[in-house]
Chains A and B, each alone.
Chain A
């Protein structure tokens, strides 16, 4: 029932999103620019919030997400390395590079998390943020050498205004990741309990872990390449949903996915309207709303 309500809201927002913009609505504008943009927004919203859920399940920590685990910074580093060594190669190599770096960084982060013993729950995201800061400072070092700091910032700023037919299809790679996550949702929860626990239940720990990392890396790197970094989404959407609807992942995962897309669509519409006919990049609107919501949850809702 809830899923139906959320789907209806999503469809309504998607329709609004199709008709917001400077150019007059015509068949060409809609098919070349508006539909790709709305589709990319929905996929990115679903993908980022679902990867937040996977990471939270695997680490059993509700503060872990692509923003707080260095994943976004790793994707940036992958893009930068690609640009330094093979600037002319095609988009598939770019994707591969970003994917490999995010995968590696997530593996390192999980290895670090496993060493943190029963500490304060906030300690894990702090370590993740430090880790991200370090990865970021290494990329910045090379970016300064090549005088491309401003350009790297431009790629990483989440922005859907450049999305056109023929230039965004990579984001459909999030679809398989989302489907796999849905099928494996409970297993991610089990491996979050620890290696021995999952062995006892007959799960192949490393196999499931790698599937989780694969899904997260695929989603994050394809979103970063098509639209740039979208912070906070994977952090706040799963937490708000679990506050409202509980923790049964099989039931709440669709709601998480839909709410992620709804949140992103709302932020995008606001960004497109607020300084019309110009646009505020979605990275900024998401950061503002995301950090306010997050602080509210932390300080007043006793998350």
Chain B
């Protein structure tokens, strides 16, 4: 009982912290044209919240499904496919890219391609009667490697000036968000998160291991498939909206487990959403206002997440 109260209190603290960091981000040094600043920054805050929700839920549930803390769903080929699509578009249209294909079209093409890819992958593995998640992942990564070498080949042929369009897509930014896309992504994110949250009790059972879950009467394969579909949608939406942030999921899930010391998914999922939002808000604030760095935040996250991952791998006694 006491534990529930402390958990509730920590969740409340996290929520307050998130609101505080959003406020700091919104209202710090607004300048004269405060209406514009508020609108512009408000969009960024909402984008960050959408991405935080997508990354948090997909990473937490993915790590539970695969029963480890060092994998993220984005390595499964989603991001390399996204970059391949962007490269192909620039390869064919060059500096006309933005004229030919609007942001909305680009978003739709990317999301549909990524979700189709995920479904193909799932079908391929499950049709073979192999419900081995690691196999699914490895096949996804191998296809991802294929996509990356195809895109790096095309990138060599692209005019260096046009290449900067591709390079801009290689890192997530929260700066150039289209408002229509933002609202539809927000709606998708909220719907998926509600479904996912209602199913979070199954994750608690899956965390016990496959055999125990089946013994307890869970329709294991079906539930896993549903979660895989939810994960695919969330990862695709977040990647197509802002771009790849590979290691954010790794960083925030481990941080959340470290801070909240519980394994109840209903708590962990909410906590992880809050932690991701705080991390992104503070990170973006520091990047933009304090250090005035032009480095994309996802590059920083990848570096911090990367070193943290190394630390995890080398410090933990058993993986």
Interface locus among B178-186, B211-219, B281-289, B303-311: B303-311
Q: Is B156's CB under 8 angstroms from A157's CB?
A: yes
Q: Is B303's CB under 8 angstroms from A138's CB?
A: yes
Given the interface pairs A287-B145, A287-B146, A299-B124, the reply to whether A134 lies near B310 with Cβ below 8 Å is: yes
Main secondary structure of the interface of A (DSSP, over half): helix
Determine the residue in chain B with the shortest Cβ distance to A129: B141
B155 is an interface residue with CB less than 8 A from chain A? yes
Most buried by A among B134, B139, B149, B313: B149
Within 8 Å CB of A294, what residues of B? 142
Number of interface residues of A (CB under 8 A): 47
Within 8 Å CB of B130, what residues of A? 299
A260 is an interface residue with CB less than 8 A from chain B? no
B290 is an interface residue with CB less than 8 A from chain A? no
Among B132, B167, B300, point to the contact of A149 (Cβ < 8 A): B167
A29 is an interface residue with CB less than 8 A from chain B? no
A188 is an interface residue with CB less than 8 A from chain B? no
Determine the residue in chain B with the shortest Cβ distance to A112: B313
A134 to B313, CA, bound (A): 12
A66 to B167, CA, bound (A): 26
Determine the residue in chain B with the shortest Cβ distance to A302: B130
Q: Which of A227-257 contact B (CB under 8 A)?
A: 231-232
A120 to B133, CA, bound (A): 10
Q: Is A120's CB under 8 angstroms from B247's CB?
A: no
Q: Is B303's CB under 8 angstroms from A111's CB?
A: no
Q: Is B319's CB under 8 angstroms from A115's CB?
A: yes
B59 is an interface residue with CB less than 8 A from chain A? no
Contact with A along B144-175 (1 / 0, CB 8 A): 01100110110110101001000100110000
Q: Is B318's CB under 8 angstroms from A126's CB?
A: no
Among B128, B134, B143, B306, point to the contact of A126 (Cβ < 8 A): B134
Q: Is B150's CB under 8 angstroms from A137's CB?
A: no
A131 to B306, CA, bound (A): 8
Within 8 Å CB of B132, what residues of A? 120, 122
A67 is an interface residue with CB less than 8 A from chain B? yes
Given the interface pairs A126-B141, A298-B138, the reply to whether A117 lies near B75 with Cβ below 8 Å is: no
Which 5 A-B residue pairings sit nearest by Cβ, starting from the closest? A134-B306, A122-B134, A287-B149, A137-B302, A291-B146
Q: Knowing that A127-B313, A137-B299, A300-B128 touch, tell me 9 more A-B residue pairs with CB under 8 angstroms.
A: A115-B317, A120-B132, A144-B295, A144-B296, A153-B156, A154-B156, A231-B149, A287-B150, A291-B142
Q: Which residues of A contact B (CB under 8 A)?
A: 63, 67, 108, 111-112, 115-117, 119-120, 122-123, 125-127, 129-131, 133-135, 137-138, 140-141, 144-145, 149-150, 153-154, 156-157, 231-232, 280-281, 283-284, 287-288, 291, 294-295, 298-300
Q: Which residues of B contact A (CB under 8 A)?
A: 68, 70-71, 75, 124-125, 128, 130, 132, 134-135, 137-139, 141-143, 145-146, 149-150, 152-153, 155-156, 158, 160, 163, 167, 170-171, 246-247, 295-296, 299-300, 302-303, 305-306, 309-310, 313-314, 316-319
